[in-house]
Amino acid sequence: MPDILYQGRRMRIERETVRLPSGAEKDRIVVRPGKAVAILPRDGDTCVLIRQYRHAVGRWIYEAPAGTMDEGELPEETARRELAEETGLAAARWEPAGCIYTTPGFTDEVIYLFAASELSPAPGASPDEDEMIEVVRIPCKRVGQMIRDGSIVDAKTICLAVRCLG
């Protein structure tokens, strides 16, 4: 039975005693933030990203629109909701692009990846009140260059670009 060190609205931190494949027992801290989605919206030859301030790293970064899944919500439902909330866009075409474990050494966080296209305006763009988001349109060809030059450093965005842009 894990020892719950922290329980928040969307995250739990647990201390567990685990038996490793070697047979040794060790204590481990596991962060359990729940499941999430990330979307790479494309409008022709343009990718729609967000520029968002992230306190944990103390800077503004370019990211794919993303968000956490609500209880009982399917990944594509979350993706549609987050795309509208963060960018004011809807997509007629959705393509699953797999999933990633963000940092499996200490968290069970999984992010479901999607490519979205055939974009149109969506009512209800309303980022959470603590989110500072700027929607940016970047030529798809430039996204790879921005990853290589360190302008894009967000892991989920890099994974989406590799999977969806090649």
Average pLDDT of adjacent 10-residue blocks, the chain of 166 residues: 92 95 95 97 97 94 97 97 95 97 95 98 73 92 96 97 91
Amino acid at 146: M
Determine the pLDDT at residue 110.
97
HEC-encoded secondary structure of the chain: CCEEEEECCCCEEEEEEEECCCCCEEEEEEEECCCEEEEEEEECCEEEEEEEEEHHHCEEEEECCEEECCCCCCHHHHHHHHHHHHHCEEEEEEEEEEEEECCCCCECCEEEEEEEEEEEECCCCCCCCCCCEEEEEEEHHHHHHHHHCCCCCCHHHHHHHHHHHC
- Give ranges for CATH 3.90.79.10 in the chain: 35-165
Q: How far is the C-alpha of 162 from the C-alpha of 144, rounded, in Å?
A: 8
pLDDT at position 132 is: 82
Q: What pLDDT is stored for residue 1 in this prediction?
A: 81
CATH number of the domain located at residue range(s) 35-165 in this protein: 3.90.79.10
Q: What is the pLDDT of residue 34?
A: 93
How high is the pLDDT of residue 155? 97
Task: Determine which one of 16, 129, 131, 134 is catalytic.
Answer: 129
Q: Confirm whether 129 is a catalytic residue.
A: yes
Which pLDDT value is given to residue 10? 87
Describe the strand order of the beta sheet including 3-7 as a list of residue ranges: 3-7, 12-19, 25-32
pLDDT of residue 127: 61
